[in-house]
Chain A
């Protein structure tokens, strides 16, 4: 049996009057039960589009045009929309960035919390209502008995995000997709929410895709990390491996841009010069070429693939700087298979 979630060569395009733009291309990663993968990258790198592609929630002009998404050994892209709906909110749940606007202002918390359970678990109204209160207590919402009868506008952003988490967990999903769940919250609340998610995911063995552009959050939460740049995964590794040995020049640049405790006060934060190329005019060859400090002739001519670079652990990099090591790994595995 493979991993819980396998994303292979995912490509998602958006149609417009001007033609179609590829927002996500050649994105691949695996995720096991109970594991957390963080998707990191600058704004516009395709993190949300990847998540929405997995959930089948792309806007009407978006479409997955290539690749495969296997979840629990089912190919999600081959499911019909009604079949997909049975998974959504059930075994596949999602939390969004904006807690202030993600709850319906005219329906009670209880109503919104029980909706999924009534639909997917076939609970009676009383049972669902009881479980709603339990869920709110589980995520640390005080006065849960009263809150279920209240409307969202009475809750703070942090409380609403707790409600969203309770809602996402209401049907015990196998996979939870959280798209920047704490970006809109202030720092202390952010830490509480992340701790809550970590605890609940560990307790229920829920696999989590956590989208963020905060490397601090990555260090705190991730088992493994996929770094995205301009719609592609450029590096993927376990969290310790990635922080200890970042390989892709983009990842290295990202690492340099985080402030370190204890660093000299006048130590400048480096940021990567330049900006992400627009979808409409992706350069041929490597997409990072124009901002890369180590760019070579080859990078302008050929497109690098995401390949294994480590013989010991898993460390995939999309960069020609490592083509030597990648070739060695390849040779070793073929020899191993041959013998």
Chain B
């Protein structure tokens, strides 16, 4: 198992490198340069050139990339082109809020999706099943921004129950528990709706498959109560394929977080990404991309490990 993990990590290094190369060049394809935003539009071309030289932007792209990579190997993500603060610090300040938002959304989504999916599978072909499938379809297909704006309109603007955005009330009497929660509710609903919708469909079909297996009939033939058969015999098997779904979800979640954080002005990595893109802050953007790639890779590795734990048929050597 340990050798397997080490091998996986070693294999992932070239993949991660590839991701950084792609990121770097795609970012460079965007028109304009950080210096444009950095400088007064009336600054002389001469001055602009000097600034670009100072930032290293005058060098060929390959050289810029190798410089960046060299820094990275020394554990340095560089300085933000915009604020001149270390990228590591800029990102570090944003990770907490994003983890809070994504974690809460995942928990909520799974807490809803797993029991609902099981219910639909056990009542397959009844109105309860159709309702669940329809609801899940709605959850998957409603766009984040649409749901987000709709919720803000109803609960913040019309009813005035919940804040429109941010993590705490700005200038308010400091973040109490309710203050924090009230800011969390709407973004979590938006982010968890899509995950839950997806998840319900996976849980349901995975559970329908498990319930039709021969060993379920064996379990019934032993005289076990239906609840025991579902929980002990079907659920364990049904949850195994969902480990993969969880990791795929994580990638989708990162994308969803970008949009959701922007709508709710949630000060996390997603919002930072949008800011970095619009200010051509390449170094921050590269840092965020690297973190995202690492997260997805880490989730995949974790999934493989979890697989080996929950499925006795899998043995890594």
Which residues of A are in contact with B by a Cβ distance under 8 Å?
55, 57, 82, 85-90, 93-94, 96, 98, 101-107, 112, 115-116, 119-120, 151, 153, 164, 167
Contact = CB atoms under 8 A, between A and B. Distances in A.
B220 A119 contact: no
Contacts of B312: 105-106, 151, 153
A165 B209 CA distance: 25
B222 A119 contact: yes
Contacts of B219: 104, 115
7 contacts: A57-B220, A88-B220, A88-B222, A96-B214, A105-B312, A115-B222, A164-B218
A57 B221 contact: yes
B213 interface: yes
B41 interface: no
Nearest to A91: B223
Contacts of A164: 218
A107 B310 CA distance: 10
Contacts of B233: 104, 107
A149 B73 CA distance: 47
A116 B218 CA distance: 11
* Interface of chain A: mostly helix, strand, loop or mixed: mixed
B311 interface: yes
Contacts of A153: 312-313
B61 interface: no
Interface string B281-317: 0000000000000000000000000000011110000
Contacts of A119: 222-224
B223 A106 contact: no
Contacts of A116: 222-223
B5 interface: no
Pick from B214, B218, B219, B233 the residue with the most CB of A within 10 Å. B218
Contacts, number: 72
Contacts of A86: 223
A29 B240 CA distance: 44
B253 to A, nearest CB: 27
Contacts of A94: 221
A88 B223 CA distance: 5
B29 to A, nearest CB: 48
Contacts of B310: 106
B237 interface: yes
A87 B223 contact: yes
B232 to A, nearest CB: 8
B210 to A, nearest CB: 10
A152 to B, nearest CB: 9
Nearest to B239: A106
A101 B215 CA distance: 6
Contact of B223 (A89, A96, A102, A151): A89
B218 A103 contact: yes
A164 B213 CA distance: 16
B236 interface: yes
Contacts of B214: 96, 98, 101-102
Interface string B217-250: 1111111110000001100110010000000000
Nearest to A98: B214
Given A93-B221, A104-B215, A104-B219, 10 more contacts: A85-B223, A96-B214, A96-B218, A98-B214, A102-B215, A105-B215, A105-B311, A106-B310, A106-B311, A151-B313
